[in-house]
Chains A and B, each alone.
Chain A
Amino acid sequence: MTRHPTVEVTTRFTGVLAGEWVKLSTVRSTRWAPVVLVLVTVGVAFLGGITESIQRGETILGSTANGSVLGMLVAGLLGAMAMSNEYGTGTIRATFGACPRRLPVLGAKVAVVATLVFVVALLACAGALLTGLAVLSGKGYATGDPLPALLGMAACFAAVAVLGLAAAAILRHAAAAVVAVVGVVLLPSLLGPLFGAWQRWVVGASPMAAVQKLAQSTDAAPDAPGGLGPWQSLGLVGAYTLAALVVAGWLLRRRDV
């Protein structure tokens, strides 16, 4: 082996970004998660359509959103796995060896996961809507306003994925991160009634509530949970996702790996 002239090496953010994409696309769990996300979202819409599980007065877009909870869980799992795959296997040490400042790694992961999930969720929600339209055509249900609601829904999926990623970075354990994601997506509506007068706010702050509000109408119904409008709800989900990310970044820099 000859010395210096053989290899040119510089660590740039574009490289870190591309490296994260390679990692995501070269293991089964994260490679198949986007496919599963689309399948379950469209599948639930299909099932809901053929069984006509839709209330009078509800739009087809609205019922699509109600069925998106499974797809949203998959988005959260994908985000969690993107991070916990590294802690679980020790790959994180190789990653930090190549990029010892660490924060670019977190930034690149967030960018790659959020972009991927946004695109895939947009396809999934649009596919679900089209499936609903096809199955329920001629039965007298209104379509709803797909744009910009679908974009907001996809953004909410992406936020849940980033939330999963942040949880995995904080907890450094796959199962714990998965429980955290499932909790954020499912628990508010399950446990909401326990909070009495606060129920509106607890339920309203969940990512599912944001998706439902986005799908119903662009101007929030007055009795919408939490009283926040659809885009404000999305903003709230974005805000606590960002907060989780800040905690994750702070811990990532400080902790030994």
Chain B
Amino acid sequence: MIELRGLTKRHGGKLAVDQLSFDVRPGRVTGFLGPNGAGKSTTMRMILGLDEPTEGGARVNGRPYRRLPAPLREVGALLDARAVHGGRTAYDHLRFLAVTAGIPRRRITEVVDLVGLTAVARSRAKEFSLGMAQRLGIAAALLGDPGVLILDEPINGLDTEGIRWLRGLLTGLAGEGRTVLLSSHVMSEMELTADHLVVIGQGRLLADMPMRAFIAANSETSTVVRATDQDRLSALLRERGATIRPDPGGGWIVGGLDATAIGELANAQRLSLRELTPRYRSLEEVYTRMTRDAVEYRTARHAIAGGTETSS
């Protein structure tokens, strides 16, 4: 469980994170979304006690990170896969962490096997591809068998097999009752992995809701309809104010009426339907629209504030 309360970070005059309050709960994968510079990494660093909040705070399992008696036992984090000394072997990188945190040696071999780096564990980290470096970072995060995982862009550089593997790993870990906070810009992957979403823009909370609800709430409803007597149905739908356009895949896309209303209308008129499919937008479409609006809103507001400042 991670709890943020009024978490704020100011860099000079700029607000990087602005009064963020949300909980990351156990038992599910929480996707952490936001455009570049939205404050995701800064937020993660503050949760991990690496950056000091200007105001507010974050707690992990009820305590600020710096007060955890055995931090790696409770929280595993991957912030930057390349933040490893290139001259040190993967095994030695994990060994110094294990020794520092008092984790038994055999656990190093376990996590190395788990992330599939067994063959290259004795190679220097600078010889690693980005994908291998990500695997090393994931191994380091899992070293203490923690109940909370915080991963910043772990998918970058992974190949298709690696992405599928990570998806399975993270959903499995969440299934065991662990807390997983995951950031990524790969929306298609996020849609498959995350159960819950936290979206921020310009350091502010834009959404905190289940994935399905987020997509449904931010999609305009449209329904794909196919009927035996398509012309008659279309005429009826237009009478009720629905918009209709042909679907490239055959059938018609109906807007302005939901699937239930369309079904009831067809039933009342004894029209048989061959297809009635509510259409949701992809996470990528929804997210792009939402953050674009947020950015425009913020930019406009800044412009106004700046104008006031100069005129007064």
Q: List residues of chain A with CB under 8 Å of any chain B CB.
A: 1, 3-4, 6-12, 15-16, 18-20, 22-23, 26-29, 85-86, 89-91, 93-101, 254, 256-257
A1, B71: Cβ atoms under 8 Å? no
A90, B84: Cβ atoms under 8 Å? yes
B102, A27: Cβ atoms under 8 Å? no
Chain A residues near B50: list those with CB within 8 A.
Answer: 93, 96-97, 256-257
Q: Identify B99's interface contact among A8, A18, A90, A257, CB under 8 A.
A: A18
Identify the closest chain B residue to A89 (Cβ). Answer: B85
Contacts A100-B68, A256-B51 given; indicate if A9 touches B84 (C-beta within 8 A). no
Identify the closest chain B residue to A9 (Cβ). Answer: B73
What is the CA–CA distance of A94 and B51 in the complex, to the nearest angstrom? 13
A7, B176: Cβ atoms under 8 Å? no
Contacts A22-B92, A27-B88 given; indicate if A11 touches B70 (C-beta within 8 A). yes
Q: Does any Cβ of A come within 8 Å of B212's Cβ?
A: no
The 4 closest A-B pairs by CB, nearest first: A90-B83, A19-B100, A9-B73, A26-B92
Query: How would residues 75 to 105 of chain B score, 1 for a CB under 8 Å from any chain A CB and 0 otherwise?
Result: 1010110111111110011011101111110
Least CB distance from A167 to B in Å reads: 20
Helix, strand, loop or mixed for chain A's interface? helix
Q: Size class of B's contact patch? A: 35 or more
Least CB distance from A215 to B in Å reads: 36
Identify the closest chain B residue to A14 (Cβ). Answer: B102
Q: Which of B72, B77, B102, B172 has the most CB of A within 10 A?
A: B102
Q: Which of A12, A97, A100 has the most CB of B within 10 A?
A: A97
A9, B95: Cβ atoms under 8 Å? no
B45, A256: Cβ atoms under 8 Å? yes
Query: How would residues 53 to 85 of chain B score, 1 for a CB under 8 Å from any chain A CB and 0 otherwise?
Result: 000000000000110111111010101101111
Contacts A89-B85, A93-B79 given; indicate if A99 touches B107 (C-beta within 8 A). no
What is the CA–CA distance of A23 and B48 in the complex, to the nearest angstrom? 22
Identify the closest chain A residue to B65 (Cβ). Answer: A100
Chain A residues near B104: list those with CB within 8 A.
Answer: 7-8
Identify the closest chain A residue to B150 (Cβ). Answer: A97
